[in-house]
Structure 1
Amino acid sequence: MKTLNNQSLLYDEDCPMCTLYTAAFIKTRMLDANGRKPFVSITDAKANYIDMDRAKNEIVLVDTENKTVSYGIDGLLKVLGFSFPIIEKFGNWKPMNYLLKKLYKFISYNRRVIIPSKENTYTKTQCIPDFNHFYRILHIIFVTVFTAIVLFYYSKNISLIPNGNWTRELVLATGQIGFQFLFIQKMKVEKQLNYIGNLVTISLMGSLLLFPILLLQNLVSPIVTLVWFGLAVSLMIAEHYRRTTILELPKYLTATWILYRTIALVIILKF
């Protein structure tokens, strides 16, 4: 890899996803050893030429020699493009650049529900993205539909479950949100959407765990399909409990999550 020197990414150190991919740039030597700095390390001098509000939503690439900055997807394309010029050229093609910027915003505004982290109460300067209702609701809708599609195809391979249809799985997926909402309705709207964002992300994780069996459905037995499904549900329960702990939400939300799944399963088996 070619190393892009005298450039430094300012990243959200409380975001595991941001920490991971910026570390990858250093490890692969796309950036030098000083190629990333936590957002909290921004000095007053840097703050003079960095848009601090924008920096909370888009990662910043600082040219430490020329004192210039690139934000979000433009900064990432600059890093990648130094080693792979074709990526930068393709990424800067107007239609693709438009789509990449929308995708970047979708991920950035939802990064704290994709991979949650505890609130940092020790640092005043924090890189917390603005709450964007549009991208949070879009995340909820997209993941809910994707989950319903995966469960529809997966349920066909479990003989114990009566054949259903895509509508049933969509109703079950949205019903989970409605059921859990009964127990969070007194919370502030942003906190409700944060929890629901995490809730559907857990469903997404479960769907991705089921995906390998879907791809190998002709090679695995029905019992393996059923056992794998049970394993995925168990991991989802553990993840739900972990996330509610991180978010400092009531522990009974995990119990109500299990209750809904149990009620749904009974209804499916009986009707």
Structure 2
Amino acid sequence: MIKNHKLLIDKNCPMCVVYGSTFTKLDMVDSNTITPYQLVSEEFTTTIDMHRAQNEIALHDTVTGETIYGLDSMIHIFSQGKSWISKPLHFPLIYAPLKQLYKFITYNRKVIVGGKRTPVNERTCEPDVNYFYRTLFIFFTAVFTGLVLNNYTYHITDYFGFQTPWYVEYMICFGQVVWQGVMITLWSRKNSWDYLGNMSAVSALGGILLLPILLLQQFIELHPYLYIGYFMLVVGVMLLEHIRRCRNMHLGWIPTVSWLTFRNVVLGIIILLFS
């Protein structure tokens, strides 16, 4: 168990709270280690790079005064001082991709969980908007969602006697990014990258929720109406989540109206072209 350390986490980030609590429950760190970034005392802020700690979780040794950040702090906690664990993880061919994965997650953590903004009277723990990792997040979620929808909508369109080309769902997913990107730039430019990240997270959520039905149909035959009904249920969940996230970003109803308009317009075009 790691003692005499302070692990700074964002108390307004559900993801950070969960892994901080998990470390404590698994006795990887003692009960005094997990410390909210917003509440850490001035005694430690003078020796910790507080800006870097917003982007990469900081593990501060209260005895030596040394601080390690990001992936290195995670490896330190998981290895618990055991070199047979830490050395392989620091091997360049393993460390380099893990480092990229860590950055991909940490720079997008706020849009992944869709948490509320930090209150104005608290110390801010918002990661910087990294355009490279945000673009990767938007790209990969669009590809993932398009792949799932391709496999799912086949069971619906086939029932109605028509099929769409494989690329249609990908065009829809990337088209929505462009459509909403233009809308949010006109409506609230300063929130554009945060909104697109949150919207992509909602799309990924929809894709994940469709996976159980795709898995189930591998074992039993499902009626087409089940696919339709479940799909509508998932869309409803996505709509509520989209509204929640827009409310957290104080964007009002315009993004949601635009989001729904795009989906309805596309549905109409698909029916006209392929049915």
Same fold (TM over 0.5): yes
Contact map agreement 2:138 2:196 (CA 8 A) in 1: yes
Query: Which amino acid in the other structure matches residue 99 of structure 2?
Result: K
Tell me by how many angstroms 1:161 deviates. 7.4
Letter in structure 2 aligned against 1:206:
G
Question: How many residues matched?
Answer: 269
Alpha carbons 1:61, 1:75 under 8 Å: kept: yes
| Counterpart-to-counterpart distance in 1, 2:202 and 2:3 | 39
Partners of 1:125 and 1:250 lie apart in 2 by 26
Q: 1: CA distance between counterparts of 2:257 and 2:133?
A: 28
Q: Which amino acid aligns with 2:236?
A: S
Aligned twin of 1:112: 110
Native 8 Å contact 2:118 2:126 kept in 1 = no
> How many Å separate the matches in 1 of 2:6 and 2:236?
41
> Deviations for 1:33-69, whole angstroms, at most 9, x for unmatched residues?
1120011233333223211221110001112222211
Greater shift, 191-200 or 177-186, is seen at: 177-186
Give the drift of 1:86.
5.4
* 2:25 aligned residue: 27
Give the distance between the partners of 2:263 and 2:55, measured in 1 at CA: 35
Q: Distance in 2 between matches of 1:161 and 1:100?
A: 46
Q: What does the per-residue CA deviation read over 1:59-106, in whole Å, with 9 as the maximum and x for residues that have no partner?
A: 011122222111111111111112986553432221111111111111
The answer to whether residue 128 in structure 2 is matched with residue 130 in structure 1 is yes
Post-superposition offset of 1:256 = 2.1
Alignment of 1:97-246 (within 5 A): 97-158=95-156, 159-160=159-160, 162-187=162-187, 189-218=189-218, 219-221=220-222, 222-246=224-248
1:9 match: secondary structure: strand
Q: Residues 24 and 223 of structure 1: is their aligned pair in 2 closer, same or farther, counting only changes over 3 Å?
A: same
Relative distance call for 1:25 and 1:152 in structure 2 (3 A) is same
Q: Distance in 2 between matches of 1:223 and 1:19?
A: 40
User: RMSD value over aligned CA atoms?
Assistant: 2.0
Letter in 1 for 2:185: Q
Give 3-state SS (helix, strand or coil) of 1:185's partner: helix
Which amino acid is the alignment partner of residue 28 of structure 2? M
* SS of residue matched to 1:166: coil
Runs of 5+ unmatched residues, structure 2: none
Query: Does the 8 Å contact 2:11/2:17 carry over to 1?
Result: yes
SS of equivalent residue, structure 1 residue 156? helix
Equivalent-residue separation in structure 1 for 2:150 and 2:140 (angstroms): 16
Distance change >3 Å, CA 189–CA 103, structure 1 → 2? farther
Query: Which residue pairs with 2:251 in the alignment?
Result: 249
2:24–2:31 CA contact under 8 A, matched in 1: yes
Distance of 1:87 and 1:263 partners within structure 2:
53
Alignment TM-score, normalising by the size of structure 2: 0.90
Aligned partner of residue 165 in structure 1, secondary structure: coil
2:7 aligns to what SS in structure 1? strand
Go from structure 1 to structure 2 and tell me whether the alpha carbon gap of 1:87 and 1:172 turns closer, same or farther (over 3 Å shift).
farther
Aligned equivalents of 2:161 and 2:129: distance in 1?
40
How far did 1:234 drift?
Answer: 0.8
User: Cα distance, 1:187 vs. partner?
Assistant: 4.6
SS of aligned partner of 1:186: helix
State how far apart, in whole Å, the 2-side matches of 1:92 and 1:76 are: 12
Q: 1:253 to 1:188 in 2, by over 3 A?
A: closer
1:202/1:254 Cα in 2 relative to 1: closer, same or farther (>3 Å)?
A: same
Deviations 1:83-133, CA, capped at 9 Å, x for gaps: 986553432221111111111111111111111222223435211111111
187-196 vs 79-88, greater mean Cα deviation: 79-88
Q: Gaps spanning 5+ residues in structure 1: where?
A: none
Q: Which residue identity is paired with 1:153?
A: N
AA matched with 2:180: Q
Which stretch of the first structure deviates more once superposed, 250-259 or 146-155?
Answer: 250-259
